[in-house]
Chains A and B, each alone.
Chain A
Amino acid sequence: MMSDKTFEPKIIAFCCHYCAYASADLAGSMRLQYPTGVRIIRTPCTGRLEVEYYMRAFENGADGVLVAGCLEGGCHFIEGNLLAKKRVSAIRDILQESGIEKERLRMVNISAAMATNLAAVINEMVNIIKELGPNPIRKINNGPDIEFKEFETLNSQK
């Protein structure tokens, strides 16, 4: 594919407060490494993430979006992560229809203790996106380059 050695993917990682976000914290204390282009955004539950959030992320130039929810059966809100899983699958379809490779959106299940797994999943995602190259709309017509600031506001509104 069009992998470019200098390309540092910008990835939004929506992490559930009760599991993946805690594991990201733990990954930090364990000094596990993941690339700097990954912006972790805390969400109260992956089931809270509306379709619009994902669409806007890609529309604004994100190269990839990772959603990390609790292990199946372990959702703090019982089935938020299961709803998110179905939603993600539907969004992958609409992204593909719009011309964005569906591999750019991925959902994983991580418990609060699985810091090593989180770091591995993030690195894997970065590699997948490096393989795919930048979000295709970024390269055309001086397309958008995502500003993480926008997502910080989004996050603080919760």
Chain B
Amino acid sequence: MIVAQRKKIPEIFNVIQEHKSVLVLGCGTCVTVCLAGGEREVSIISSALRIASRKAGKKIKVNEFTIERQCDNVFIEGAAEEIKKNDAVLSLGCGAGVQAIAERYPDTPVYAGLDTAFLGILESRGVWTEKCMQCGTCVLSDFGGICPITRCAKHMLNGPCGGSREDRCEIRADQPCAWQLIYKRLKNIDQLDKIAKEHPIKDWSKSIDGGSRTIIREDHRI
């Protein structure tokens, strides 16, 4: 899922303060699961903004609404009426959600209430970790399912950098060395021979470095 976290209230208030009414728009998918931008967070952030607004001597109307998915037209349409009633939208969706709303409402200012952080998983209650950088050419099968691009600070594809201490990454001691994990995992699943496989220089043009990406499925187009 996409993992995000809320921005601080002063930062949000600063961008919405010129408006008379703002719709705080939640998203019921990824950001609900990572407890950053679902219906409940909409309620909490809206309360905080109403307080901040009154404290600043303003009377900004802060309204609340949440749709199932901000990155999907069908659901965005469901917010049309609410969006029209307000001068601006504070989206609590991920970066994609904010942009989807902004593109569909060219005359309405749309702001981001969250910092979208990464693609990851829920590790344990209240802990989320990054797992994939969406490089565009997945190599997980060669590495026992552990991503050397995302989880090795240097994106090393052909063995560790040599700097790890114990089993820790030399860049961040709170993270395990990805290569240590890869070695253990390949050994466990009896595929240690894969560690000797040579990987050519990665084609980063398939990742974000080649510009923002589009996938077209002709078989699904109408």
Contact = CB atoms under 8 A, between A and B. Distances in A.
Given A136-B55, A137-B54, A140-B55, A97 B44 contact: no
A11 to B, nearest CB: 17
B154 interface: no
Contacts of B10: 97
Given A51-B40, A52-B40, A94 B48 contact: yes
A97 B44 CA distance: 13
Given A94-B9, A98-B9, A140-B57, A59 B50 contact: yes
A59 B55 contact: no
Nearest to A50: B40
A55 B44 contact: yes
A56 B51 contact: no
Interface in B180-213: none
Contacts of A52: 40, 43-44, 47
A58 B51 contact: yes
B57 A98 contact: no
A143 B55 CA distance: 9
Contacts of A95: 48, 51
A53 B104 CA distance: 34
Contacts of B54: 137, 140-141, 143
Interface of A: 50-52, 55-56, 58-59, 94-95, 97-100, 136-137, 140-141, 143
Which are the 5 A-B pairs with shortest beta-carbon distances?
A55-B47, A99-B55, A97-B9, A137-B54, A98-B51
Given A97-B8, A98-B48, 8 more contacts: A52-B47, A56-B47, A58-B51, A94-B44, A95-B48, A97-B9, A137-B54, A141-B54
